[in-house]
Amino acid sequence: MDVADKKYFMKFNDATGRKLRPLANAFEEDFKTGSDLDEADNDILMSLAFYLWNLDGKADVIREKSGEKEAVLYEPTVDEIERAMSAYHVAFEKELTEKNFHEAVHYLSDILSGPNKKTPRVEYRRVPVAIFNGRGKRVYTPPEPEYVGALMASVFNQTVLLLKQDLSVSEIFYHAALIHLKVIQIHPFIKNNVKATVLLEKWFLKEKLGNCFIKLPSEKYYFENKDRYNVNTLTGSAFNNIDDDRCLPFLLMLPESLKIRDI
């Protein structure tokens, strides 16, 4: 399924009902943002950076408490926070293109030495990868590396077309979530795919709805619902047998982050 596909939009729209536009309007009113990020804006992004760094396995430490398991929030280093802020600023200041996306991902990369430090670009993976659950069982196989470049080019070509279209608020959230799902299924990088994809999703929202949506706390929502996130993004055991009919539970997660106010 392409990211511009509207096959599941009516079901998405029926499920979100008339709540989405008022929620988006309320968020915009509460988190007004100018053409430049001020100190308050940066404070919010700094808080979200903590959750961003917890989305790719950083919070795998488990604490036993009253017989229940609880994820422990990873404390990012000062360097990691600064790098996340740089990525947010790229997304805020620049238009959404594949080239600029690579620049933002550069700051989220763990490999910041050698060529990557000199050139703001992290290449797509060149090796096969697999996704395993917490018990070490393989649960998903992304596409082979030779297909990744073309698949991502297709995503961005369609995204550019969506950016030019006049879309409703519901359509914008639908396509933003669909972009997220498609890219996480492609798994374009060796590491940091969830961080990169969450940023891409918010970047699209910012481009379509306004600057304040760079502050949408989707990082926090996905982290606090990480088990559900993992289940909902797993719509097949491999890229070549994905069942698109299972996409709706994931698509409906993004609008829920509009309800968060304690950032």
pLDDT higher than threshold 90 for residue 69:
no
Q: Which residues contact 98 (CB under 8 A, 6 or more apart)?
A: 152, 153, 156
pTM for the predicted model, two decimal places: 0.91
Domains of the chain by residue range: 9-259
Element (H, E) at 139: strand 138-140
Mean pLDDT across the chain: 90
Which one is predicted more confidently, 222 or 112? 222
pLDDT higher than threshold 80 for residue 127:
yes
Instruction: Give the fold, CATH level 3, of 9-259.
Output: Fic-like fold (1.10.3290)
| d(C-alpha 184, C-alpha 164), whole Å | 24
* pLDDT-based confidence at residue 18 (cuts at 50, 70, 90): confident
Q: Which residues contact 94 (CB under 8 A, 6 or more apart)?
A: 100, 103
pLDDT higher than threshold 70 for residue 230:
yes
| d(C-alpha 241, C-alpha 48), whole Å | 34
107, two tokens = 């700051």
State which amino acid sits at residue 174: Y
The conformational region for residue 260 under phi > 0 = left, psi -120 to 50 = alpha, else beta, is beta
The model's pLDDT over 184-201, given as tens digits with 9 standing for 90+, comes to 999 999 999 999 999 999
Helices (H), the chain: 9-16, 20-30, 39-52, 78-93, 98-108, 115-118, 145-164, 169-186, 193-209, 218-224, 226-233, 248-251, 253-256
pLDDT higher than threshold 90 for residue 112:
no
